[in-house]
C-alpha cells in the first residue's frame, strides 16, 4: 500500500465526500492536545465500556482528549443509543466549524452484534465517532454500498474504518476478515489533517504480548493474553516517539512482520491485519516459534527471530539481528550491522558498510559484503567469506572455511581443521595458542610470499628452520612434501608436533613472511 493511495482516501474523508454529497466539510475548532466535552445518555442496555474504548481509539491516534463532563446543554459530542440504527450528524456554524455532533448506535445493533471488544458493534462506534469528528465515508456511498460503488481501488476496512467494504469484498485487498479496533492508515492521515499531528512523546512502548502501550493498544495486549478464542482484529499502530517494540514472541504461527510505515503484517495466523501508520517508527520486533519473516525500516532496528527458521532483513540504519534457534537467514543491508545467527545452521549477509557477524552454534554460512567487516563462526563447521575492504575473519571452533576476498584481511581459523584463503590483498593468517589442538591441520590455499604474513606471535616461537629434523620446543620447522610446504612446531617440548600448517605450494618462506 503506497502513501499516495492512503493520502487520496484521506483527502476524500476530509473534503471529497462532502463535496460529492453537496454540503461543506466541517470540523471542531480545536487541535491535537485539546479536549472535547462528551455527553452520553445511554439506556441500561448500552455498553459504556465499548463507547469509552472507541473514544480511546480516536484519542490514541489524534491526540484529542475526550472529557466525559458534558451536559445536555453544554457539550461537543453527544453519544446516544436512544434511536434504532447507526448514524451521526453535526451542527455547523457559517464558517463550517462544527458546533456539536451527535452519534447514535442503537440497542438493536448491540443486540445484533454483541458487546465483545472485537465486534461489529465496537467498529460501528469507532466509525460513527469518526463522522462526529468531521470525517466522511471512504467513497461516495451512504447507508449501503456494493462493490462497484467505490471511488478507490483499495477501499476497505484495512485502509479505513470509514469504509463500507470488508477486505474480502475488495478483490484488490488481501487480508483476513476481521473487525476494526482502531482507526486505520487513511483515517489517521485524515484526522491529522483536521486537528494536527500529535506531539512527540519519547515514551518507548511495547505493542503486542506483554504490552506497555496504553489505551486501545493495551486492550489489544489484553486480548492476546486471553487469545484462545480471539477472532481476527484489524488495527493500526500509531506511535509518536521513543524506542518501541512489536512483541509477537508467543505467537506459534509463521509470521510476516513488516515495520515499514504504511505496511501490514501477518500475525497470529491472520493475514494483513496489523498495520503501521504513516509517520510511525517502530524500531524493534520479536518473532515467535514459527518460521517468521521480519522486515526492518529506516531506524536502527533490533530484530529477533526467536524459534523457527526465520528470515530477518535489517534496513537502512545500523541494525541488530538475532536469528535465535532454527536455521535462519539474516540480511543486514545498509548500515553498520550486528548479525547473530545463534543456534542452528544459519546464513548471514552483512551487506554494505562495516558489519559484525557471529554465527553461533551450527554449521553457518557468513558473507561480509563491502566494508571492513568482522566475522566469527563460533561453534560448528562454518563457511566465512569476506569481500572488498579489510576484514577480520575468525572461524573459532569447528572445521571452518575462510575466504578473505579483496582487501588486507586478517584470517584466524581457530580450533579445528580449517581451510583459509586470503585472496587479493596483503593478508595476515593468525594462529593463537588457545586455538591449537594436536591433530588439527590447517590449509592456507594462497599464501603470497613477501605480501602475506603468518602471525605466530602468540605461540612462543623464536626460531625458524627449513628441512627435516627433530622437533624442538619454540622452533618452527618447514618441510616440503607432495608439492606443499608443511610447517610444524612443538609448543610444549614433548617432541611431538602440536601446530601443523600446510601451504598449498612448496615455495620456501623467508623470515619476512613470519611474525614471531
DSSP 213-252: --THHHHHHHHHHTGGGPPPEEEEE---SS--EEE-TT--
pLDDT tens digits, one per residue of 337-379: 999 999 999 999 999 999 999 999 999 999 998 999 999 999 9
- Positions marked catalytic: 128
Report the distance separating Cα 358 and Cα 380, nearest Å. 12
- Mean pLDDT score across all residues of the chain: 95
* Contact call for residues 460 and 491 (beta carbons, < 8 A): yes
- pLDDT, residue 2, reads 87
| Cα gap 440→169, rounded to integer Å | 65
> CA angle at residue 431 from 358 to 483, to 5 degrees?
115
Residue 45 has pLDDT above 80, yes or no: no
Structural domains of the chain ordered from first start = 3-195 (3.40.390.10)
**DSSP character at residue 167:** G
Burial of 111 (0-12, 13-18, 19+ CB in 10 A): exposed
Residues in Cβ contact with 46 at an 8 Å cutoff, skipping those fewer than 6 apart: 81, 107, 110
Per-residue pLDDT tens digits for 307-330: 999 999 999 999 999 999 999 999
Say whether pLDDT at 467 is over 80.
no
Q: Return d(Cα 400, Cα 420) in angstroms, integer.
A: 8
What are 250's three cell numbers? 508467543
Overall average pLDDT of the 245-263 stretch:
97
CB neighbour class for 213 (10 Å; exposed up to 12, middle 13-18, buried from 19): buried
Q: What single-letter DSSP state applies at residue 198?
A: P
Cell of 443: 590449509
Model confidence pTM above 0.85 = yes
User: What pLDDT score was predicted for residue 470?
Assistant: 76
pLDDT of residue 228: 64
pLDDT value for 486: 96
- Res 201: pLDDT: 80
Once rounded to an integer, what is the mean pLDDT over residues 438-467? 93
Q: What share of the chain is helix, strand, coil (3-state, %, to 5)?
A: 15, 30, 55
Amino acid at each position: 500500500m503506497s502513501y499516495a493511495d492512503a493520502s487520496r482516501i484521506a483527502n476524500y474523508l476530509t473534503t471529497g465526500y462532502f463535496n460529492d454529497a453537496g454540503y461543506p466539510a466541517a470540523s471542531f475548532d480545536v487541535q491535537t492536545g485539546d479536549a472535547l466535552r462528551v455527553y452520553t445518555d445511554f439506556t441500561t442496555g448500552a455498553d459504556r465500556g465499548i463507547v469509552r474504548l472507541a473514544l480511546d481509539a480516536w484519542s490514541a491516534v489524534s491526540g484529542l482528549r475526550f472529557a466525559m463532563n458534558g451536559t445536555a446543554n453544554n457539550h461537543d459530542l453527544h453519544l446516544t443509543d436512544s434511536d434504532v440504527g447507526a448514524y451521526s450528524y453535526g451542527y455547523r456554524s457559517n464558517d463550517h466549524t462544527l458546533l456539536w455532533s451527535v452519534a447514535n448506535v442503537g440497542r438493536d445493533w448491540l443486540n445484533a452484534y454483541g458487546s465483545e471488544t472485537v465486534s461489529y458493534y465496537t467498529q460501528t462506534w469507532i466509525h460513527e465517532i469518526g463522522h462526529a469528528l468531521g470525517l466522511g465515508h471512504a467513497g461516495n456511498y451512504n447507508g449501503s454500498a456494493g462493490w462497484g460503488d467505490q471511488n478507490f481501488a483499495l477501499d476497505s476496512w484495512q485502509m479505513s474504518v470509514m469504509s463500507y467494504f470488508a477486505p474480502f469484498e475488495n478483490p484488490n485487498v488481501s487480508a483476513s476478515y476481521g473487525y476494526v479496533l482502531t482507526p486505520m492508515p487513511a483515517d489517521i492521515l485524515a484526522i491529522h489533517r483536521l486537528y494536527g499531528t500529535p506531539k512527540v512523546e519519547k515514551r518507548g512502548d511495547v505493542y503486542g504480548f506483554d504490552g506497555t502501550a496504553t489505551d486501545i493498544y493495551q486492550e489489544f495486549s489484553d486480548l492476546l493474553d486471553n487469545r484462545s478464542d480471539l477472532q481476527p482484529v484489524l488495527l493500526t499502530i500509531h506511535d509518536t516517539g521513543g524506542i518501541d517494540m512489536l512483541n509477537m514472541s508467543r505467537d506459534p504461527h509463521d509470521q510476516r512482520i513488516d515495520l515499514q510505515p504504511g505496511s501490514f503484517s501477518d500475525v497470529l495466523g491472520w493475514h494483513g491485519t496489523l498495520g503501521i501508520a504513516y509517520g510511525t517508527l517502530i524500531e524493534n520486533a520479536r518473532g515467535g516459534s514459527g518460521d517468521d519473516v521480519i522486515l526492518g525500516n529506516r531506524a536502527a532496528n533490533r530484530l529477533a527471530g526467536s524459534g523457527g527458521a526465520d528470515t530477518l532483513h535489517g534496513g537502512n540504519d545500523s541494525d541488530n539481528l538475532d536469528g535465535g534457534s532454527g536455521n535462519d537467514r539474516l540480511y543486514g543491508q545498509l548500515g553498520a550491522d550486528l548479525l547473530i545467527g545463534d543456534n542452528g545452521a544459519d546464513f548471514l549477509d552483512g551487506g554494505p558498510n562495516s558489519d559484525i557477524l557471529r554465527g553461533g552454534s551450527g554449521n553457518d554460512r557468513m558473507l561480509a559484503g563491502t566494508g571492513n567487516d568482522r566475522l566469527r563462526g563460533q561453534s560448528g563447521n562454518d563457511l566465512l567469506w569476506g569481500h572488498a575492504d579489510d576484514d577480520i575473519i575468525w572461524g573459532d571452533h569447528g572445521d571452518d572455511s575462510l575466504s578473505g576476498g579483496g582487501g588486507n584481511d586478517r584470517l584466524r581459523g581457530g580450533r579445528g581443521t580449517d581451510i583459509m584463503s586470503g585472496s587479493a590483498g596483503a593478508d595476515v593468517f593468525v594462529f593463537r595458542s588457545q586455538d591449537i589442538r594436536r591433530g588439527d591441520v590447517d590449509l592456507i590455499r594462497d599464501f603470497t610470499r613477501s605480501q602475506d604474513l603468518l602471525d605466530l606471535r602468540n605461540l612462543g616461537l623464536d626460531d625458524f628452520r627449513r628441512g627435516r629434523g627433530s622437533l624442538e620446543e619454540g622452533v618452527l620447522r618447514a618441510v616440503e612434501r607432495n608439492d606443499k610446504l608443511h610447517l610444524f612446531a612443538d609448543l610444549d617440548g614433548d617432541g611431538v608436533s602440536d601446530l601443523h600448517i600446510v601451504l598449498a605450494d612448496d615455495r620456501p618462506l623467508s623470515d619476512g613472511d613470519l611474525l614471531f
